[in-house]
Amino acid sequence: MAKKTKDPGFGYNSKQGAKRIINRDGSSNIIHLNRRSNINDLYAYLISISWTRFFFFVIFGYVLLNIFFGFIYTLIGIDQITPSTGNFFTDFLNGFFFSAQTVTTVGYGGIAPEGLALI
């Protein structure tokens, strides 16, 4: 195990053998012991994972967000967006499609709101 030192290696009085904070390859030499993770670590986590995992999280979040709003649109009443078919699954797919075209800012081409949703 490496020798622990609290000296970062800067200044005139640095200890002999103090290591760099950031290695030449860009990796960090600092190890946080007994530190809990929080939301501020999310950015550091996202830039350290592979592209495949990152795009998986983006697509998963996008689909989950549209499923959530698709259910909301279906439960509020899909009649405010498009005529209801009477089938819950088909109405949910219409709500999902409306949510997807709203989130991506593509525009209302296939389905457009027809009235005001009064809750």
Walk along the chain (119 residues) in steps of 10 and give the mean pLDDT of each run: 59 62 76 76 87 95 95 86 86 90 79 59
The candidate with the shortest Cα–Cα distance to 97, out of 86, 82, 116, is 82
Q: Is residue 61 part of a domain?
A: yes
Q: Which domain holds residue 94?
A: 40-103
Element (H, E) at 66: helix 51-77
The candidate with the shortest Cα–Cα distance to 77, out of 23, 113, 31, is 113
What is the structure's pLDDT at 10?
57
Query: Would you give the DSSP letter of residue 34?
Result: S
Q: Is residue 5 part of a domain?
A: no
Structurally, how many domains does the chain consist of? 1
Our CA dihedral for 62, 63, 68, 73, rounded to 10 degrees, sits at 100
What is the structure's pLDDT at 119?
45
User: What gap in Å lies between CA 116 and CA 82, rounded to an integer?
Assistant: 12
What is the structure's pLDDT at 36?
78
